[in-house]
Amino acid sequence: MEFAWPWQLRRNGVLNMNKRNIDYIGKYNPRKYYKRVDDKLITKQLALANGIAVPDLIGVVEEQHKINDIPQMVIDRTGFVIKPAKGSGGKGILVITKVDAGRYYKPNGDEVTPTEVYRHVSNILSGLFSLGGAPDVAIVEGLIEFDPVFDGFSYEGVPDIRLIIFKGYPVMGMLRCSTAASDGKANLHQGAVGVGLDIATGKSLFAVQFDKPVLKHPDTQFELSQIQVPEWDTLLHTASCAYEMCELGYLGTDMVLDKQRGPLLLELNARPGLAIQTANGRGILQRLQHVESLKGPTLSVEERVAYAKKHFCSNPNF
Amino acid sequence: MHSRKPFFIFVALLFIFGTAASIYRSVEHNVPFLPGKQVQSWSVEAKVMFNGTNKAAEASLSLPQDDAFDVLSENASSPGYGLNISDGDDRRAVWSIREASGRQSLYYRVTLVPTGQLDVTQDEEPEVPEAFTWQVTEKGAADQIMNDVWQRSANNLSYAQQLMSVINDSNQSQNLALLLSVNNRTQLFLQMLQSKGVPAKKVSGLMLEDQRRRQQLSPYVQVFHDGEWVLFDVEGNKEGRPDNLVLWQQNNQSVLDVIGGSNSQVNFSMLQETRSALATSIDMMNNSDAMDFSLYQLPLEEQSTFKGILLIPIGVLVVVFLRVIIGIKTSGTFMPVLIALAFIQTTLLTGLIGFLLIVAFGLMIRSYLSQLNLLLISRISAVIIVVIFIIGLFTLISYKVGLSEGLTITFFPMIILAWTIERMSILWEEEGPKAVVMAGGGSLFVATLAYLAMSNSWIQYWVFNFLGIHLVILALVLVMGQYTGYRLTELKRFKPLAGDK
């Protein structure tokens, strides 16, 4: 086991959990706005009202007896996603990529029986995945047809783009690619590959899996240094808009690229994790302090994105 | 951003007040800082005897009033007698009866605790005593000795010192021999002091020695010098006060007065006792009726409840430290404290084994339940009932096998166990068995450390006897709540980010 000295981390501007909680989340995220991000249904409605693109809303299941309506809802879909409105950390998300004569299949090809779907939704409604076990509702969403430009980036799952938006400025970004080790999930601690992205260009800067630098995707052998996220400006713009929408100062936005519709906002996070620093190979604190030091009137979304692209660009670290 | 100054002042006040309250408790109420500390106390019994004359009788005994000893308890036994203990400057026990015939025995028993306060001080200068009137035959001899000693002394104290050594001089002058033939040494000493206007008084003291019986009070002389009464033992030719001398009567009053009786006498027997310092100070507090904030005023049942409750802040402190400063992950914020509380009842090893057994069996049952497609509420309820079955089964088996440790397994909070099993089961399904072992192991590790802190007999003693400690804990928890530094585990996690760019 190797340990860093605290001053080495401080010199490199590494934000830690306690400081994040006290100086950023506690200070910039008013409690009353939390439900805007903690309840994905509200997030979705807000996003639609603000003209931000989100995955299709097929339906909402609020009561146990409505579960039986699900087959009817998805009858003409190729796939769908069921997620808890108040879930966190990607918990409780069921992805069905193939619907074939009333039979459902997960991305890895395993069949999901209607009974299993029923139980999953029932668990969601009972609050199994929500914070503190509060009763919840299940959201049925359209499947994202993800952009083929990402073929090879990811294994058995949609790669998603996480941006940290501080006071409306995109300060750091990463691409999260699922792997066989992460079982198709995009959580870094479960073994997904985290690729740091340059705020200016959307090009990859650095990549890690299990906190160790990697050059190739472990399953697809894709050269991670070759990544260039398309429609980068739209992504930055959409993410920056989320600040006005939910009024949280320190915000994590999760987005995916749809083949037809471009960047879609998946969810927002009022307590984004710190792994983005490891994926970028650098601390986030200096950028946060940079934004904190900015004076003057609030800039427009375009001005903020331009400012961030100018000041938070970095050199590849491969 | 609001200033943090008031916060830090508040925390500092909590810390200072908590520490001060604990120190006050130790100093003022003699609550020892270490548990199990012993103090010596003295049990003294005074036996008053006189012959009744078939008439009404009243016996009045002076009671000890001495800063060097606290009265822990006192009682008098005297069948048929009325008893009155008068407080005030001169504490006395007065027994009375309408008709006393034959030999009478009255008992007074007192338990004395040394306070270590041996000096007898007095702020104001006592009145100068009236000059003693010598017998004509003695006056010449006395004057000669007094003037001689006066010349050789500088102040009251050195005069008394010189005088005592002269009185005890083995090569006695004729003058002294003459005086001692009609006076005892103590009497002579006192008279010679008073003749020169030195404030002095005769006191009666009792030397405390273990297992002595039929002891008498001995006369001593106190000489006032520089705000303090200095004790002289003229017979023993000693100055100063030994710590096993209790001053029974200091006010020039008689020790025993008997009206309506003859041939009265009082003698003392005594016994040294060893008692817990804590029990002694609790008794003292109860005696003094101090409206002090002490949990010992509660009934015993509530006291033992509080002994448990007051350990929770220690467990909470350990959890806050391990999570905020060290960064260990636990499943459920304060579940480790609750597990640690159960460990206190079960002891550590039994508790750990019992916990692992219940959770393992619970997970097995739970994996079956998850196939039944139940609603969450009924599933957890089912787990609770099954946990009760498991606990009952283990208790029964361990009883049959003769393992009494197994019986304590019932102390585990069942709802907590059921929730733990449910969470672990979900964790297993979502992130695999490794995550279950990590989260469960972290919780058990934290619970074990919390248990070790909470079961420490010193800590148990402190949190119950020095309530100020809880304010200090509150201050520490608040300060840790403001800690924005790196957690220990983050130093490892962010190791890749430590290098130079």
Which among B375, B487, B496 has CB closest to A16? B487
pLDDT of A95: 86
Instruction: Provide the residue type at A200 as one letter.
Output: A
Region label for B263, one of left (φ > 0), alpha (ψ between -120 and 50) or beta (otherwise): left
Reported as type and span, the H/E element at residue B441 is helix B433-455
Chain B residues in contact with A91 (beta carbon < 8 A):
430
Reported as type and span, the H/E element at residue A247 is none
pLDDT string in tens for chain B (501-residue length): 456 788 889 999 999 999 998 888 888 777 777 777 777 888 888 899 998 888 888 898 888 888 888 887 888 877 888 888 887 777 888 888 888 888 888 889 888 888 877 787 777 777 777 777 788 888 888 888 888 888 888 888 888 888 888 888 877 778 888 888 788 888 888 888 888 888 888 888 888 888 888 888 888 888 888 888 888 888 888 888 888 888 888 877 788 888 888 888 888 998 888 877 777 777 777 766 655 667 777 777 888 888 888 999 999 999 999 998 998 888 777 788 888 888 888 788 888 888 888 888 888 888 888 777 677 778 778 888 888 888 888 888 888 877 766 666 666 777 777 778 888 887 787 777 888 888 888 889 999 999 999 988 889 888 888 888 999 999 999 999 888 889 998 888 888 887 764
CA–CA distance, B55 with B52 (Å, rounded to integer): 7
Chain B residues in contact with A281 (beta carbon < 8 A):
496-497
Do residue B376 and residue A23 have CB atoms under 8 angstroms apart? Answer: no
Q: Which of A102, A202, A217, A103 has its CA nearest to residue A156?
A: A217
Which among A5, A9, A19 has CB closest to B484? A19
Locate the chain B residue with the closest alpha carbon to A207: B496
CA–CA distance, B10 with B445 (Å, rounded to integer): 33
| A89-130 per-position pLDDT tens digit | 677 888 888 888 778 888 778 888 888 888 888 888 888 777
Locate the chain A residue with the closest alpha carbon to B373: A119
| A4-23 per-position pLDDT tens digit | 888 888 888 899 889 999 88
Helix then strand count (H, E) for chain A reads: 11, 14
Locate the chain A residue with the closest alpha carbon to B327: A17
CB B206 within 8 A of CB B217: yes
Locate the chain B residue with the closest alpha carbon to A183: B431
Task: Provide the shortest C-alpha distance from residue B389 to chain A (in Å).
Answer: 24
Cβ neighbourhood burial of A178 (10 Å; 0-12, 13-18, 19+): buried
Q: Where are the beta strands (DSSP E) in A64-137?
A: 80-84, 94-96, 98-100, 103-105, 111-112
CA–CA distance, B475 with B469 (Å, rounded to integer): 10
| A268-293 per-position pLDDT tens digit | 888 888 889 988 888 899 899 988 88
- Of the residues A7, A17, A187, A286, the best mutation for testing chain B's interface (the one with the most B CB atoms within 10 Å of its CB) is A17
Do residue B492 and residue A282 have CB atoms under 8 angstroms apart? Answer: no
**Cβ–Cβ contacts within 10 Å for residue B38, how many?**
13
The CA dihedral of B13, B17, B18, B23, to the nearest 10 degrees, is: 140
Q: Which of A295, A188, A173 has its CA nearest to residue A235?
A: A173
CA–CA distance, B339 with B447 (Å, rounded to integer): 6
Kindly state the DSSP code that residue B328 receives in the 8-state scheme: -
- Give whole-number Cα distances, A223 to A218, A265, A297, B282, in Å: 10, 26, 43, 77
pLDDT of B472: 94
The answer to whether residue B434 neighbours chain A at the CB level (below 8 Å) is no
Task: Name residues whose C-beta falls within 8 Å of residue A98's C-beta, 6 or more positions apart in sequence.
Answer: A78, A79, A104, A105
CA–CA distance, A160 with A257 (Å, rounded to integer): 8
CA–CA distance, B420 with B334 (Å, rounded to integer): 12
Residues 356-395 (B) with a CB less than 8 A from some CB of A = 373, 375-377
Which among A211, A281, A282 has CB closest to B493? A211
pLDDT of A273: 84
CA–CA distance, B266 with B248 (Å, rounded to integer): 12
Instruction: Provide the residue type at B437 as one letter.
Output: V
Task: Provide the shortest C-alpha distance from residue B360 to chain A (in Å).
Answer: 21
Do residue A128 and residue B495 have CB atoms under 8 angstroms apart? Answer: no
Which among B324, B373, B493 has CB closest to A119? B373
CA–CA distance, A254 with A191 (Å, rounded to integer): 18
Contacts across the A-B interface (CB distance below 8 Å): 88
pLDDT of A317: 67
∠ at Cα A131 (B372, B480), nearest 5°? 135
- Of the residues A15, A18, A21, the best mutation for testing chain B's interface (the one with the most B CB atoms within 10 Å of its CB) is A18
Do residue B497 and residue A64 have CB atoms under 8 angstroms apart? Answer: no
CA–CA distance, A80 with A58 (Å, rounded to integer): 8
pLDDT of B351: 84
∠ at Cα B154 (B151, B160), nearest 5°? 85
Kindly state the DSSP code that residue B237 receives in the 8-state scheme: T
Instruction: Cite the DSSP H helix spans in B89-227.
Output: 136-151, 156-167, 174-182, 185-195
pLDDT of A133: 67
pLDDT of B448: 92
Do residue B375 and residue A64 have CB atoms under 8 angstroms apart? Answer: yes
| B117-168 per-position pLDDT tens digit | 778 777 777 777 777 778 888 888 888 888 888 888 888 888 888 888 888 8
Locate the chain B residue with the closest alpha carbon to A282: B497
Q: Which of B293, B333, B279, B284 has its CA nearest to residue B450?
A: B333
Do residue B486 and residue A91 have CB atoms under 8 angstroms apart? Answer: no
| A181-225 per-position pLDDT tens digit | 777 677 777 788 888 999 888 888 888 888 888 888 777 777 778
Tokens for A39, please give them: 């309840």
Task: Name residues whose C-beta falls within 8 Å of residue A16's C-beta, 6 or more positions apart in sequence.
Answer: A9, A274, B484, B485, B486, B487, B490, B494
Q: Which of A216, A233, A207 has its CA nearest to residue A155?
A: A216
CB B24 within 8 A of CB B57: no
Cα B31 to chain center, whole Å?
Answer: 3
Do residue A9 and residue B498 have CB atoms under 8 angstroms apart? Answer: yes
CA–CA distance, B253 with B47 (Å, rounded to integer): 19
| A136-183 per-position pLDDT tens digit | 889 998 888 777 777 777 777 778 899 999 998 999 999 988 887 777
Interface of A with B (CB under 8 A): 1-6, 8-10, 12, 14, 16-19, 22-23, 27, 64, 91, 115, 118-119, 122-123, 126-128, 190, 208, 211-213, 277-278, 281-283
Cβ neighbourhood burial of A130 (10 Å; 0-12, 13-18, 19+): buried
Residue position matching structure tokens 């003295």: B42
Do residue A8 and residue B324 have CB atoms under 8 angstroms apart? Answer: no
CA–CA distance, B454 with B318 (Å, rounded to integer): 9
Do residue B373 and residue A122 have CB atoms under 8 angstroms apart? Answer: yes
Chain B residues in contact with A211 (beta carbon < 8 A):
493, 496
pLDDT of B1: 47
Q: Which of A176, A118, A154, A146 has its CA nearest to residue A55?
A: A146
Q: Which of B60, B65, B44 has its CA nearest to residue B109?
A: B44
Tokens for B438, please give them: 């990590």
Tokens for B247, please give them: 């001053």
| A23-65 per-position pLDDT tens digit | 899 889 888 888 888 888 899 989 989 888 888 888 888 888 8
CA–CA distance, A219 with A83 (Å, rounded to integer): 27
Q: Which of B154, B149, B197, B199 has its CA nearest to residue B176?
A: B149
CB B366 within 8 A of CB B425: yes
Mean residue pLDDT across chain A: 85
Task: Name residues whose C-beta falls within 8 Å of residue B269's C-beta, 6 or more positions apart in sequence.
Answer: B44, B45, B47, B212, B213, B214, B215
**Dihedral sign, Cα of residue B424, residue B425, residue B431, residue B434:** positive
Q: Which of A30, A16, A7, A29 has its CA nearest to residue A284?
A: A16
**Dihedral sign, Cα of residue B310, residue B314, residue B317, residue B318:** negative
**End-to-end CA, chain A:** 24
Do residue B484 and residue A283 have CB atoms under 8 angstroms apart? Answer: no
Do residue B497 and residue A1 have CB atoms under 8 angstroms apart? Answer: no
